[in-house]
Amino acid sequence: MPLGARALLIASLGLIAVVTAVLNLDTSVFFLTPVLLHLARHRGIDEAPFLYGTVFMSNAASLFLPGSNLTNLIVLHHEHVAGVTFLARMWPAAVASVVTTTLLLTLMFWRALGVPATPGREQQSARLGLGAAGVAVSTVLVLVLASPALPVLIVGLAVVVLARTSRSRLLETVDPRAIGGLFVLAVTVGAVGRWWHGPEHFVNSFSRWQTAAAGAIGSIGLNNLPASMLFAARPPVHARALLIGLNLGPNLAVTGSLSAFLWLRVARSHGAKPSARTYTLLGLALVPFSIAASLAALAL
């Protein structure tokens, strides 16, 4: 018996959380946005919960492992924390974030998911091809290798080549200029953070809750990658609270993370119409609760 729309959303959010934790949030939005759009269209149910759920859960589940989000590696690079140690310290906050995000998204889209389905809106069948194989191989590499970044990149490039993906399709989905610009900004802001200690001292004077709020505001103002470089040029006093703000704050605006930028591009390339306004309205209801739940769980 097929799952109902609400149960299907919850199951999909669980899948997103797992892929984000094991791989990373950018991989999650890149691979799963088209998959979940197809799922909703094939079942004839409202695609909005699955569309926005993909990016919101990808950010929410990025607290589990160091590689789940690049900001984790940047903020804690002074500690040289092993993955197992990171998980042991962060899993209560990560679980709280995932559970809170799942509950709130289900409630916010409750009525939309209750509309009777009209199957057959999209006839194209989903296929487990090179993309799925690439994800599987990348997952194994992440689990068994100490430094999987380069091997995973090679796997990704191999999938693109073997799939004979056209250059126009690649540029439609990923804009190298924008991504390159973001990394240049991050490096520049990081350099500023190393010689100008003002932002660092400012954030380090805060409590845990204030630090998380500063991380969230910094992420939507600068993007979380440059913000992490600025606030963590030296070891932060409340490093894990800062991570919570940097990882969950981007759910307030599409400017907050690279994952949101990729999500916009991928969604539009598959015929969806994501709205920055809707994103922020949903985020305003979601982010305060997810940050509060994560901070509370971290203190237990």
Domains in the chain: boundaries:
5-299
| b (16+ CB within 10 A) / e for 255-286 | bbbbbbbbbbbbbeebebebeeeebbebbeeb
Q: How confident is the model at residue 242 (pLDDT cuts 50, 70, 90)?
A: very high
Residue 123 confidence (pLDDT): 47
d(CA 225, CA 239): 15
| 48 or 67: which leads in pLDDT | 48
Contacts of 34 (CB under 8 A, 6+ apart): 266, 270
Residue 66 confidence (pLDDT): 85
Q: Looking at residues 96-124, what average pLDDT do you find?
A: 84
Give the global pTM. 0.83
Asked if 33 and 263 count as a contact pair (C-beta separation under 8 A), the reply is: yes
State which amino acid sits at residue 279. Answer: Y
d(CA 45, CA 39): 9
Which two structure tokens, joined as six digits, stand for 269? 């390339």
Which whole-number Å values give the CA distances from 279 to 171, 248, 256, 289, in the listed order? Answer: 24, 13, 11, 16
State which amino acid sits at residue 125. Answer: S
Q: How confident is the model at residue 208 (pLDDT cuts 50, 70, 90)?
A: very high
Q: How confident is the model at residue 110 (pLDDT cuts 50, 70, 90)?
A: very high
d(CA 12, CA 231): 34
1 pLDDT exceeds 70? no
Q: Looking at residues 10-28, what average pLDDT do you find?
A: 90
